[in-house]
Amino acid sequence: MSARTHTVESFHEFGLTVEYTFQRGAPAVMYLRNGDPGYPAEPDEIEIVAVRLNGHDIKPLLSDRFLDDLEEELAENHDDSPDDPDMLPGGHDNPRGDDW
């Protein structure tokens, strides 16, 4: 599954525009179908691509702490509504390409 790019306008009290990629993690699997041990969950991934103020990318000027807090806030407020018809609710790819 590939990450999708999202943009949030007027984000934070400064009116920032944040462009980021979001990739949904995978749930844990306790056991495989053949009875072998499964694998742990993979967490969601967010990567901030740009933080714009008045059209200028200010990401290089921001502290790591601010960017970490921003990623956390984006993760808590991420809207997983699919814009793409080949995406299922929850952000998972639709491998069959139909409406399920």
Tell me the per-residue pLDDT of 36-86, one tens digit each, with 9 for 90 and over.
Answer: 999 999 998 999 999 988 889 999 999 999 999 889 888 887 766 555 444
Q: What is the pLDDT of residue 88?
A: 40
Residues 32, 94, 7, 21, CA torsion sign? positive
Q: What is the pLDDT of residue 34?
A: 93
Between 89 and 74, the more confident residue is 74
Whether residue 19 contacts residue 49, with contact meaning beta carbons closer than 8 Å, is answered with yes
- d(CA 42, CA 56) in angstroms, rounded, equals 34
Whether residue 92 contacts residue 1, with contact meaning beta carbons closer than 8 Å, is answered with yes
